[in-house]
Amino acid sequence: MNKTELRDPLDIAEAWKGQGRDVALATVIETWGSAPRPVGSHLVIDSEGNFEGSVSGGCVEGAVISEAIDVITSGAPKMLEFGVADETAWRVGLSCGGRIAVYVEKIA
């Protein structure tokens, strides 16, 4: 299977693990207000910072990738929450002051 055939981040995570990569999975577990991605959205990240999928966009996604690399190193999962005021919402990728909770775990 080549990369263009892989669309589901869970399939990508499985393929990357099969290649011997260390991988973390970030999952949107809760949203409040308006959020760019629904509950259940995934972002898969490897130890080099490569990623596929999406949990939000903007600065939030960059922060999740950074935290995921820490999770890969430590092995300890993390719960992340992001929320912004209406006036800064669009700049960081959350529309209308939405908030999201993202669970990040290393895939064994």
pLDDT at 15: 95
Task: Tell me the pTM.
Answer: 0.83
Other Cβ atoms less than 10 A from the Cβ of 30: the count is 13
| Better pLDDT: 7 or 54 | 54
pLDDT digits (tens, 9 = 90+) for 51-106: 999 998 777 899 999 999 999 999 999 999 987 655 555 555 555 567 899 999 99
DSSP, residue by residue, 13-55: HHHHHHTT--EEEEEEEEEESS-SS-TT-EEEEETTS-EEE-S
| pLDDT surpassing 50 at residue 2 | no
pLDDT digits (tens, 9 = 90+) for 19-38: 999 999 999 999 988 778 89
Beta bridge partners of 46: 23
